[in-house]
Amino acid sequence: MTAAQTLRVGNCSGFYGDRFAAMREMLEGGELDVLTGDYLAELTMLILGRDRMADPAAGYARTFLAQLKDCLKLALDRGVRIVANAGGVNPPGLVAAIRDLGLDARVALVRGDDLTARAHDLGLGKPLGAHAYLGAFGIARALTAGADVVVTGRVTDASLAVGPAIAHFGWERTDLDALAGATVAGHVIECGTQATGGNYPFFTEIEDLGHPGFPIAEIRRDGSSVITKHSGTGGAVTVGTVTAQLVYEVGDARYAGPDVTTRLDTVALRAHGPDRVEITGVRGEPPPPEVKVCCTSIGGYRNELTVVLTGLDVEAKAALFRRQFEAAARGAAPAELTWNLARLDTADAPTQQQASALLTVVARDPDEKIAGRAFTSAAVELALGSYPGFFSTTPPGRAHPYGVFTAGFVPQAEARHEVVLDDGGVVPIDPPPLTQALAPHPGPAPEPAPAPAGPVRRLPLGTLAGARSGDKGGDANVGLWVRDDAAYPWLVSLITESAVRELLPEAAELPVRITRLPAIRAVNIVVEGLLGLGVAYHARFDPQAKGLGEWLRSRHVDIPESLLPEEAR
């Protein structure tokens, strides 16, 4: 370990498919105690579940195994422990494959997340997979027993960093503030280069974003931390890049986990030198009595066709094609048809592409033939008898199964959290002795604030505000923040439920929740149900809401001139 009072935890993966070379880059780039990798997301669990249905030996992140084949000896030589959730839906299979590499590494398995066989009895229905989000104490037990590599299935993303901190500092279940502080650090680094400038709204301010380095959390005994990266790597670590990741995919001010409920409204950030941001002040509360369960299922079959409408009479052309298509499909109509017309065309356009709009029809049905051949036939037979200039972006194809994500909850004790040590011994991990029912916390109520004096200008919201957005099951979140104290009362007064529905018309009929986080000058927005039944359902053009924040930033609002940066005045 680098020092008794500090643990350096790096990250080398934010998703299954992230930069393959990152593990070697992190191991060779500088000093580390632990290297983590996050390979799982809701969609990934569905993909891995289907992989294992086809091949019982599959179901884990094969790229992680390939990375270990390349780098495990290097990690062992440098004394760096590796902790990853790459086990997916088949962690024992990954452990066996690692041992087959033939290196003298002690490998431990964290298990108990897979509730699939008991899902019906637990009131979770009959999903393809049901996996509880386990906490960090199993990882910690594996490390204290000497594991060089810890493989898990579904744990909370932050647990990959919290577990090593528990092991290093000897934290107990009652050390809630320390656990909460490490949770924030883990949440910041879990998505890799999103903490070092990736997907950052003010990206033009970062000098070198060609190949951003992966993040490191220097976690201290009290749970505070410094977020940084290896010296000489690309990207940047600033208060802004850390804020952006901090508000990513969160709900309200209470960030619930199986070990601690973290109070996001207590987080304090400050610059701590070049590419160093300190996180302090985080408070923790007892965790909820239940753990969240990721339930994935095959919802049916999906097909899609996009036709191009060029030039004049776009609305009439779209209406004609829709009327003809629905008539042709009658008798074998899909259970669900959704239409979307994207008016990307401009008048008197200098190119044909700029003169074109896109009409997309999506079909979903339990029957593969109806979503497949019947859908395709209805589209093809219209090719010569529909609107003028008919063509599609791609030929209609066969239907594909689509997934459905639902969140379930079970008592903590129902997830039989265990560690299988390298020697085969099994250690049970008890659930937390103290829990607390989760209560919504929207942050402080907005205080009446006088409007800044002087004129206003109609400008994009992003002139002042940064944003990062993402998915939480079928809900979408957008975290907004400003960089000056003077602008925060304006942001709070601007972002109301009615304003969100006006600025984001797709949210007009949906529940909207708003949380205020004044310590980091942020406002978090959750739009319930915007993503339908989750990312694999593909309910909208941007199924994971990754660009939702940038759309919101592009909307025009009245901004007081006194708040504008000098270059925008």
**pLDDT tens digits for range 328-352:** 988 788 999 999 999 999 999 999 9
Q: Contact at 8 Å (CB) between 152 and 87?
A: yes
Is pLDDT above 70 for 237?
A: yes
Q: Are residues 97 and 126 in the same domain?
A: yes
Q: For position 331, which CATH number holds? A: 3.30.70
- pTM as predicted: 0.94
Q: Are residues 360 and 395 in the same domain?
A: yes
Q: Which residue has the tokens 């400003």?
A: 482
Q: Are residues 473 and 507 in the same domain?
A: yes
**Cα dihedral sign, 171-174-180-186:** positive
Q: What is the mean pLDDT of residues 23-41?
A: 97
* C-alpha angle 468-470-474 in degrees, rounded to nearest 5: 150
Q: What is the mean pLDDT of residues 13-35?
A: 97
Q: Pick the residue with more confidence: 296 or 536? A: 296
Q: What is the pLDDT of residue 129?
A: 94
Residue 315 is assigned to a structural domain of this protein: yes
Residue 446 is assigned to a structural domain of this protein: no
Q: Pick the residue with more confidence: 454 or 502? A: 502
Q: Contact at 8 Å (CB) between 428 and 501?
A: no
Q: What percent of the chain shows pLDDT beyond 70?
A: 98
Residue 13 is assigned to a structural domain of this protein: yes
Q: Contact at 8 Å (CB) between 107 and 87?
A: no
Q: Quickly state the pLDDT bin for 539 (edges 50, 70, 90).
A: confident
Q: Quickly state the pLDDT bin for 516 (edges 50, 70, 90).
A: very high
Q: Are residues 496 and 561 in the same domain?
A: yes
Q: Are residues 210 and 183 in the same domain?
A: yes
Burial class (CB in 10 A: 0-12, 13-18, 19+), 375: buried
Q: Are residues 281 and 187 in the same domain?
A: yes
Q: What is the pLDDT of residue 465?
A: 98
In whole angstroms, how large is the CA radius of gyration of the chain? 25
**Type of residue numbered 140:** A
Is pLDDT above 80 for 4?
A: no
Q: Helices 159-169 & 137-144, crossing angle to 10 degrees? A: 50
Q: Contact at 8 Å (CB) between 295 and 393?
A: no
Q: Contact at 8 Å (CB) between 49 and 73?
A: no
Q: What is the mean pLDDT of residues 554-563?
A: 95
Domain boundary among 389, 404, 419: 404
Q: What is the pLDDT of residue 449?
A: 65
Q: What is the mean pLDDT of residues 103-118?
A: 97
Domain total for the chain?
3
User: What pLDDT digit, counting tens, does each position of 64-103 carry?
Assistant: 999 999 999 999 999 999 999 999 999 999 999 999 999 9
Residue 230 is assigned to a structural domain of this protein: yes
Q: Quickly state the pLDDT bin for 1 (edges 50, 70, 90).
A: very low
User: What pLDDT digit, counting tens, does each position of 257-275 carry?
Assistant: 999 999 999 999 999 999 9
Q: Are residues 321 and 215 in the same domain?
A: no
Is pLDDT above 60 for 549?
A: yes
Q: What is the mean pLDDT of residues 209-231?
A: 97
- Phi–psi pair at 54, nearest 5 degrees: -80, -30
Q: What is the pLDDT of residue 565?
A: 84
Q: Could you tell me the residue range of the domain that residue 477 belongs to?
A: 456-568
The 3-class SS string of 106-142 reads CEEEEECCECHHHCCCCCCCCCCEEEECECCHHHHHH
Residue 331 is assigned to a structural domain of this protein: yes
Q: What is the pLDDT of residue 284?
A: 98
Is pLDDT above 80 for 409?
A: yes
Residue 433 is assigned to a structural domain of this protein: no
Q: Are residues 174 and 97 in the same domain?
A: yes
Q: What is the mean pLDDT of residues 130-146?
A: 98
Residue 438 is assigned to a structural domain of this protein: no
Q: Are residues 239 and 364 in the same domain?
A: no
User: What pLDDT digit, counting tens, does each position of 40-62 carry?
Assistant: 988 899 999 989 989 999 999 99
How far apart (Å, rounded) are the C-alpha atoms in residues 229 and 243? Answer: 16
Report the range of poorest mean pLDDT among 401-415, 427-441, 529-543: 529-543
User: What pLDDT digit, counting tens, does each position of 154-199 carry?
Assistant: 999 999 999 999 999 999 999 999 999 999 999 999 999 999 999 9
Q: Are residues 163 and 261 in the same domain?
A: yes
Is pLDDT above 70 for 486?
A: yes
Q: What is the pLDDT of residue 537?
A: 83
Residue 234 is assigned to a structural domain of this protein: yes
Q: Are residues 43 and 142 in the same domain?
A: yes
Q: Are residues 286 and 386 in the same domain?
A: no
Q: What is the mean pLDDT of residues 355-372?
A: 95
Q: What is the mean pLDDT of residues 364-382?
A: 93
- What beta strand segments (E) does 429-560 contain? 456-460, 466-472, 475-481, 512-517, 522-527, 556-560
